[in-house]
Amino acid sequence: KAGVTQTPRYLIKTRGQQVTLSCSPISGHRSVSWYQQTPGQGLQFLFEYFSETQRNKGNFPGRFSGRQFSNSRSEMNVSTLELGDSALYLCASSLEPGLKYDTIYFGEGSWLTVV
Amino acid sequence: AQKITQTQPGMFVQEKEAVTLDCTYDTSDQSYGLFWYKQPSSGEMIFLIYQGSYDEQNATEGRYSLNFQKARKSANLVISASQLGDSAMYFCAMREPLYNQGGKLIFGQGTELSVKP
């Protein structure tokens, strides 16, 4: 059974550019969440999608957006990149939100460097 | 507000010995889930073990066990027979209350475990 797949694994962008990261959840999982990890702030929740709808959103500026497709794959986009957006972006998948014994699995992450 | 606290920034353990990583949490909800993840330097967040707040028995998964003390609001991870490959960052996390139907995880700051040969 394939795990959570994130692409690209590494990327370097220039300030002001935009970036799109992709996440394919585990087959059968319909809930996808995104997290940002930095040395200073630790792991912070970005947003969660289920059935193509954003169910929950973290405290991030509007430059951070996401979407989910009918096959449960998800993308997140960051526009007008800033140096502080340099981070590891992790995608997580689960069957659906709210299940009592639903385990949440993560991908390998996308390392974004903004120069 | 929910909060996860990991008070050990770094720990050392001798190979083949057991080690306990501490995690305390704060929540006013009765229904919640607790997770432990391992993150090697590659960045991947690897699921280790899960404990539901209503589970009466401590969770176990191979060499990993969770020492769940609900009254103390602690969920310590015990790794038995440490191996060199266990060297990594370990994160304790709590999921939002189930009635919120949320999948959002709140993470602690992590503990860096180093296993010595």
Q: How many whole angstroms separate alpha carbon A7 and alpha carbon A38?
A: 19
- Quick check: B50 pLDDT over 90? yes
pLDDT-based confidence at residue B99 (cuts at 50, 70, 90): low
- CB contact under 8 Å between A42 and B110, yes or no, is yes
- Quick check: A9 pLDDT over 80? yes
**A88 in reach of chain B (CB within 8 A):** yes
- Quick check: B98 pLDDT over 70? no
Q: What percent of chain B has pLDDT over 70?
A: 94
**A66 in reach of chain B (CB within 8 A):** no
Q: How many whole angstroms separate alpha carbon A75 and alpha carbon A97?
A: 18
CA of B63, closest CA in chain A: separation in Å? 18
- Quick check: A1 pLDDT over 60? no
Q: Contacts of residue B103 in chain A, CB cutoff 8 Å?
A: 31, 33, 48, 50, 55-56, 92, 94, 96-98, 102, 104
